[in-house]
């Protein structure tokens, strides 16, 4: 750069602003009420002092808000702000070499009287300059202080202590700090994007059910039947009810029971084979009801504090109206027939995927986005998206952004059990939540490694995990012919490790554990292909445990936070333990789970009392929220015994430290 007339370049440097996703290409995510803590490396040449501010504003606002950053040492600075509402924001860091702060720091080191007088005169000029930038009473106070500094600088009788008292006056320094000179010395980082979602994007419990199985045995269920079930689901503590596709189901190549290639008369087919002569993605299967029933269901759910999540599966049955009206939207095979979906060795003859690279791609994108708009207009605010990784990334980035311009409270869950980098890309593109590999993580080491990555890895600022112990597609081998204890273990793990979790409801409640064949992840008599009659009042139902666990989650703020997750050491590989602490520090939980569903396990748990916010020198309490029992621990280790036949886990609130075991005995 060739020097030229005008203000010199800034002496301050702003470097390494965090968090940032891909250098600002994608947005960091938070929910309403959740602070965004920003760190930055800010420094300059020489020994002058810096100041730095975190700047933020909502999209569309002209005015920036500013928060003073605090120095942490080693040229690292930190500040935070809490976004007040749902939407998009921008944030940046600005730093400058501050003449007044530099002068004050320099003055503190001076001791000779003549040096102090000269320095006082310099301070008077800086105070006067700050006064010229100030208004009202602040201007008057700064002007008076400048006069005092200038007077004392020339007063022969003043001693060093008196001069120091005037110069280092804290009230004056605070006033001057309000009106810094940033005209020529400020350096700023780029503006970085932030997306703020409603709270449910960050904390939710999902319950999946097939509406067609919600009716009485032997009868095709309806949306009205689902509506009748909502109070019971709400009583269990779920706040999202997820419905597989509710659209007309194709008849061409319809699958039979247990995924049979040939359907028998009366077979209902797969809901994911969307479209028939009755309509397509904007229509309701007549056996389920009408669009009026959808609106009534959404209204009833809203009254109970529940969101209805609809499945968005952008694919078609061979007899979907799109196939006849827009054949150019599908990929043709050499013989002219349309290519059906495959995921070898699985074949889906009843499904045609869209061709997102067709010559008519723009019209296809617009139509698919209109499907989302259609259901939003009917009150739906949550979508579970089927296999988004098999559709164009650019489509999702565009469609989700367009939806959120008008409806920023809409939540998208990505059902993408695929490669990690693909899953993370979808999260960056705008999906609010993401399915995970939890289903296949069984051992203590697997769970510890995976959830440590989710909580503290590079994706923690944009990838929100939603963990499921089962889905209609996945009966994991750990649940094959499994005991009640095995289901209870997976429930506690899912619900307490992650802020967002879900279950394929009736099957999980009733301990459905029969695979279609040994080693298969498909259920025997899968509800994907037939009606099922669920007796939810059976004695072996997990309903009571599910209700208790969901109530615990809602009562303790620590479960809403993933970033505070810290695993604790145990001397038994069958025991896994962790703690979480709410950001405000007013709620701490400690969970220990027996991973062995068949045998009682015992061992020592290593704890970090300081992380738990307790005094290790005192006895402290663990109140087990599952059993109601209270335990007294002291120091850095605690002993547990867990019998899966009785209770496979301790889910404990960490309570105040006691002075002695005698205090504990007296209270209990």
Reading the block at residue 295, the tokens are 């609106």
d(CA 130, CA 132): 5
CB under 8 Å to 601, separation ≥6 — which residues?
572, 574, 575, 594, 595, 641, 642
Place of tokens 């690279």: 357
Q: Which residues are catalytic?
A: 386, 415
What are 384's strand-pairing partners?
Answer: 311, 413
* Measured CA angle at 114 (ends 110, 118), to 5 deg: 80
CB under 8 Å to 311, separation ≥6 — which residues?
242, 243, 244, 245, 246, 271, 272, 383, 384, 385, 386
Reading the block at residue 165, the tokens are 């008292």
Helix 543-555 / helix 484-497 crossing angle, nearest 10 deg:
20
d(CA 580, CA 560): 9
Count of Cβ atoms closer than 10 Å to residue 127 Cβ? 27
Reading the block at residue 276, the tokens are 């028939």
| CA proximity to 180, closest of 225, 129, 247 | 129
CB under 8 Å to 290, separation ≥6 — which residues?
284
| CA proximity to 590, closest of 560, 562, 559 | 559
In our burial notation (b when 16+ CB lie closer than 10 A, e otherwise), range 480-519 reads eebebbbbbbbbbbbbbbbbbbbbbbbbbbbbbbebeeee
d(CA 191, CA 52): 15
Reading the block at residue 512, the tokens are 């459905």
What are 144's strand-pairing partners?
Answer: none
Under 8 Å between Cβ of 83 and 32:
yes
Element (H, E) at 44: strand 36-44
CB under 8 Å to 584, separation ≥6 — which residues?
557
What does the DSSP 8-state code read for residue 638? E
Q: How far are the Cα atoms of 298, 481, 529, 535 from residue 213, in angstroms, in the given order?
A: 19, 23, 11, 11
Query: Which DSSP string do the residues of 186-215 spell out, in sequence order?
Result: EEEPPPEEEEEE-GGGTSEEEEE--GGGSS
Element (H, E) at 642: strand 637-642
């Amino acid at each position: 750069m060739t020097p030229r007339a005008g203000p010199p370049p800034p002496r301050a440097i702003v470097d390494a602003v965090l968090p940032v996703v891909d250098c600002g290409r994608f947005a960091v995510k938070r929910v309403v009420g959740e602070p965004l803590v920003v760190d930055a490396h800010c420094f300059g040449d020489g020994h002058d002092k810096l100041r730095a501010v975190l700047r933020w504003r909502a999209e569309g606002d002209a005015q920036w808000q500013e928060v003073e950053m605090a120095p942490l040492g080693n040229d690292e600075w930190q500040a935070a702000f809490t976004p007040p509402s749902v939407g998009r924001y921008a944030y940046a860091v600005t730093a400058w070499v501050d003449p007044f702060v530099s002068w004050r720091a320099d003055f503190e080191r001076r001791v000779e009287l003549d040096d102090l007088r000269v320095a006082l005169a310099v301070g008077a000029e800086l105070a006067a300059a700050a006064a010229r930038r100030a208004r009202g009473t602040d201007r008057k106070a700064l002007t008076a202080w400048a006069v005092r500094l200038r007077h004392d600088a020339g007063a022969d009788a003043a001693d060093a202590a008196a001069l120091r008292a005037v110069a280092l006056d804290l009230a004056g320094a605070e006033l001057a700090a309000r009106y810094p000179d940033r005209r020529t010395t400020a350096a700023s980082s780029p503006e970085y994007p932030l997306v703020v979602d409603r709270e449910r994007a960050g904390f939710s419990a999902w319950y999946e059910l097939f509406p067609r199985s919600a009716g009485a045995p032997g009868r095709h269920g309806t949306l009205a039947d689902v509506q009748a079930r909502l109070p019971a689901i709400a009583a269990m503590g779920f706040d999202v009810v997820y419905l597989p596709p509710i659209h007309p189901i194709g008849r061409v190549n319809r699958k039979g029971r247990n995924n049979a290639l040939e359907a028998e008369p009366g077979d209902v087919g797969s809901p994911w084979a969307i479209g028939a002569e009755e309509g397509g993605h904007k229509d309701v299967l007549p056996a389920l009801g009408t669009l009026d029933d959808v609106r009534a269901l959404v209204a009833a759910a809203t009254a109970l504090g529940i969101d209805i999540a609809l499945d968005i599966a952008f694919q078609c049955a061979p007899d979907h109206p799109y196939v006849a009206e827009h054949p150019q939207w599908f990929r043709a095979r050499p013989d002219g027939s349309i290519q059906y979906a495959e995921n070898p060795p699985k074949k889906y003859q009843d499904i045609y995927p869209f061709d997102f690279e067709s010559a008519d791609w723009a019209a296809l994108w617009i139509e698919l986005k209109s499907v989302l708009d259609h259901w939003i207009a009917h009150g739906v605010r949550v979508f579970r998206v089927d296999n988004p990784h098999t559709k164009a990334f650019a489509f999702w980035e565009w469609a989700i952004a367009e939806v959120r311009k008008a409806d920023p409270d809409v939540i998208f869950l990505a059902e993408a059990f695929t490669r990690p980098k693909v899953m993370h890309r979808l999260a960056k593109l705008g999906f609010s939540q993401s399915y995970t590999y939890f289903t296949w993580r069984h051992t203590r080491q697997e769970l510890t490694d995976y959830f440590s990555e989710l909580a503290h890895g590079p994706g923690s600022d944009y990838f929100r995990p939603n963990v499921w112990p089962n889905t209609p597609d996945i009966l994991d081998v750990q649940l094959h012919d499994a005991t009640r204890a095995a289901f209870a273990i997976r429930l506690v793990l899912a619900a307490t490790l992650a802020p967002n979790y879900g279950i394929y409801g009736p099957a999980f409640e009733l301990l459905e554990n029969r695979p279609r064949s040994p080693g298969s992840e498909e259920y025997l008599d899968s509800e994907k292909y037939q009606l099922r009659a669920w007796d939810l009042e059976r004695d072996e139902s997990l309903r009571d445990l599910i209700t208790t666990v969901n109530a615990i989650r809602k009562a303790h703020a620590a479960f809403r936070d993933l970033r505070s997750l810290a695993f604790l050491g145990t001397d038994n590989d069958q025991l896994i333990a962790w703690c979480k602490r709410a950001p405000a520090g007013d709620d701490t939980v400690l969970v220990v789970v027996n991973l062995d569903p068949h045998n009682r396990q015992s061992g020592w748990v290593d704890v970090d009392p300081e992380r738990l916010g307790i005094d290790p020198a005192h006895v402290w309490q663990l109140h087990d929220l599952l059993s109601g029992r209270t335990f007294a621990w002291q120091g850095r280790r605690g002993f547990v015994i867990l019998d899966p036949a009785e209770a496979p886990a301790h889910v404990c609130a960490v309570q105040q430290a006691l002075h002695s075991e005698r205090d504990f005995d007296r209270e209990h």
